[in-house]
Amino acid sequence: MKNAVSKYSLLLSLVIAVTACGGGNGDGSTESEDGDQSAGLEDGDNSTDTDTGTDTGTDTEGTISACFNSDLITAGTRVIRTTLMPSDEHRSEDWIKREVTEAVGQTTYEGVAVLESIYLIDTKTDSGDLVSESNMTRYDIYNVSESTIATFASEYESVTYNDGNIHRASGVTRYSPAGFTYSFGLSEGQSFSEEWVGTDEGSLGTTTISYSRTGTYVGVETLTVLAGTFQTCRFDSTLVQVLSIEGSDDLTYTTEMTNWLLVGAGILIQSEFNGEISGQLQSATINDVDVLSNN
């Protein structure tokens, strides 16, 4: 059971990495894109279903297009973010996560047309002790006709430091169908749902996770964080994960998640897991431009 929980902790960290950028670029309308970014990418059906909700009463009018930033899926774009992870029952002091993301551009992965992005992440305690280091290459499917981005696969390596012990992990996670979908066509109050299966093959063994995700694009609202007050796009969702590891009983985890993306920039500014703040953006640059001072 201990190995199963350790495996889950690793995979949950990958879930956080995948969802942190809103599928790599936030959510929004693709209507304003120019050039040939969509050439050769997925044009068929996508696993996400949506239905129209009601007015949620947020304090500003707006649609999901307010938080779409096409630069984030343009080859060569480099994003550097520093996020505060507040202390909680699992850690006695705040953690600081620094994440560098670079959009590589269009490629093929196992015969599928994808968008490739590279992530370099290190996390330290507030006092400067190194907690973990990781790198991940993520492959997303951009469905032009459905205005969605979904994660198809990710390759990762990580090192975790705990009380003088060093834990290393590496592997590949594939999703069928592509999951963690973000739809650019959602209107305020509109809901979404999806189901998919992830298979992780790595140094800790092979694990299968069945995912079920439902949620709502709440709308554009004002959010005050330590860095200031900003206009954001809010998403509420429930993620159910059923973890299957050979030799262990299935484990089921349900997580209530709320993400706020920064209007204009399209990057995550705050996240909550089960009602507790799990991350709050401290600083961010896109191609060396300070994002927070420009909002």
Per-residue model confidence as pLDDT tens digits over 103-158:
999 999 999 999 999 999 999 999 999 999 999 999 999 887 777 889 999 999 99
Quote the DSSP letter at residue 112. Answer: E
User: Considering only 38-52, 121-135, 144-158, 259-273, which range has the smallest mean pLDDT?
Assistant: 38-52
**Which helix (H) or strand (E) is 115 found in, with range?**
strand 112-125
Question: pLDDT value at position 102?
Answer: 98
In this prediction the pTM is 0.80
Q: What's the average model confidence in pLDDT over 33-37?
A: 30
Closest by Cα among 163, 96, 99 to 124:
96
CA distance 44 to 22: 21
262 or 90, higher pLDDT: 262
**pLDDT class of 6 with cuts at 50, 70, 90:** very low
Cα–Cα distances (Å) from 151 to 37, 65, 88, 119, 143, in that order, read 17, 20, 29, 14, 11
Tell me which of 35 and 6 has the higher pLDDT. 6
What does the DSSP 8-state code read for residue 75?
T
Q: Which residues on adjacent β-strands are paired with residue 118?
A: 102, 137
For the chain, the average pLDDT equals 82
pLDDT of residue 63: 66
The number of CA neighbours under 13 Å toward the Cβ of 133 is 5
Statement: residue 34 has pLDDT above 60: no
Stronger pLDDT, 67 or 260, i.e. the higher one: 260
**pLDDT tens per residue, range 191-234:** 999 999 999 999 888 899 999 999 999 999 999 998 999 999 99
- What does the pLDDT read at residue 200? 94
Q: How many other C-beta atoms are found inside a 10 Å radius of the C-beta of residue 69? A: 24
What is the rounded distance in angstroms from the CA atom of residue 26 to the CA atom of residue 72?
A: 8
